[in-house]
Structure 1
Amino acid sequence: MKIGEKIRRLRVQNSLTQEELADRCELTKGFISQVERDLTSPSIATLMDILEGLGTNLRDFFNEIEDEKIVFSKEDAFVTENEDYKYTLKWIIPNAQKNIMEPILIELEPEGRTKEDSPHEGEEFGHVLRGSTIIHLGSEKYKVRKGESFYYKANSNHYLSNPGKTKAVIVWVSSPPSF
């Protein structure tokens, strides 16, 4: 945790200037500036004074939940490949298993397929970005082409296959997570 950055954020949320916060805490504007830039660390007593000037306390300041990450880059993804089944799975949202839904990017090589998934609670959604795929739901099959989407309850065995001659790329979202 960057204490200075968090103090600055609280100060701005409270519509205070550095000088106003410094006056409330009987400190200098320069000291507040250095704390906010993490160039110096306040003593516990001084930190308590600053937090009181911001309308909070040590417990609430340090117990605050970390900011939720909203944007994820390629570097955040976790990738696995299955050469036997000819597919690559990219978990594009790290640790999504703890969320209500789990989005992945799946790349199916020609003649590739995913492993068969048993029936489970929840629903699944997909959107084909490139190529086409066949959804196998129990004994039924559904072809989904580039630009098309699918959505189903996962109450029967299911998997995707690529009978085509080009790679298929699909965004696949399970709720609850099952990958």
Structure 2
Amino acid sequence: MKIGEKIKRLRTQNSLTQEELADRCELTKGFISQLERDLTSPSIATLVDILEGLGTNLKDFFNEIEDEKIVFSKDDAFETENEELKYTLKWIIPNAQKNVMEPILIELEPEGRSKEDSPHEGEEFGYVVSGNIFIHIGSEKHKVKKGESFYYKANANHYISNAGKTKATIVWVSTPPSF
């Protein structure tokens, strides 16, 4: 970690000049300048004073947050196919099982269906991009057409099946991840 770069970023985010930060910490502008260029290192006590002047603390300052990826392409997706049940499943967000939600894209061939999922904590949402499906929740069966969506608590066995004669495509989101 380049401490100087991070201090400079925090200083500019707080709309402070080097001189203003130096005054807050009873340091010189020259010291702040050298620090931001990583030409000198502060003592722990001095760093604590600087961070207080920037409205943060040691713990938050050194808690590195990874840049998270926001946009994903087709190349990021992982795909699996089940010929017996006649579906293709695409994890459109890589490693989504580590997240709170797990979105997938599922394509069901005519007479295809997803695997039956047991009851679990959480909820599920889906949007039918093309085709018609049935959502099976316990002993209930609901038809969902292109352009419609579904949302339910996953407290009973559940799965989806293709209700039509053409392929059905569904964006399906489960929380917590279960696919």
| Length-normalised TM-score, structure 1 | 0.71
1:45 aligned to 36, 42, 45, which one?
A: 42
Partner Cα distance (2:30, 2:9) in 1 = 18
The one-letter code of the counterpart of 1:88 is T
Question: Once the two structures are superposed, what CA deviation does each residue of 1:132-174 show, in whole Å capped at 9, x if it has no partner?
Answer: 2121223332221111011222222211122433332212122
Distance 1:2 1:109 in 2: 53
| Equivalent pair of 1:107/1:168 in contact (CA under 8 Å) | yes
**Is the contact made by 2:100 and 2:177 (CA closer than 8 Å) also made in structure 1?**
yes
From the superposition, tell whether residues 61 and 134 of structure 1 become closer, same or farther in structure 2 (CA, over 3 Å).
Answer: same
Cα 1:15/1:149, change in 2 over 3 Å? same
| AA aligned opposite 2:139 | S
Q: Deviations over 1:76-95 (max 9, x none)?
A: 84412123233233333444
Count of aligned positions? 172
- Report the CA distance shift for 1:149/1:9 in structure 2 as closer, same or farther (over 3 A): same
Q: Percent identity?
A: 63
Q: Which residue of 1 aligns with 2:79?
A: 80
The 4+ residue runs of structure 1 with deviation greater than 6 A are: none
Query: Distance in 1 between the 2:30 and 2:74 partners?
Result: 42
Task: Give me the whole-angstrom Cα distance separating, in 2, the residues matched to 1:68 and 1:152.
Answer: 33
Counterpart Cα distance in 2 of 1:48 and 1:72: 41
Cα distance in 2, alignment partners of residues 120 and 144 from structure 1 = 22
For residues 7-35 of structure 1, the C-alpha deviation after alignment (integer angstroms, 9 at most, x for no partner) is 343112321135645775542787577x3
Judged with a 3 Å threshold, the aligned counterparts in structure 2 of structure 1 residues 57 and 159 are, in CA distance, closer, same or farther, namely closer
Q: Please, what is the CA RMSD of the aligned residues? A: 3.4
Structure 1: runs of 5 or more not aligned: 36-40
Question: Are 2:113 and 1:113 aligned?
Answer: yes
Match of 2:136 in 1: 136
| Deviation digits for residues 88-136 of structure 1 (CA, Å, limit 9, x no counterpart) | 3333344433443322222223333211111222221111122221212
Q: Which moved more, 1:21-30 or 1:111-120?
A: 21-30
Equivalent residue for 2:156? 156
Is the partner of 1:100 in helix, strand or coil? Answer: coil
**1:170 lines up with 2:173 in the alignment:** no
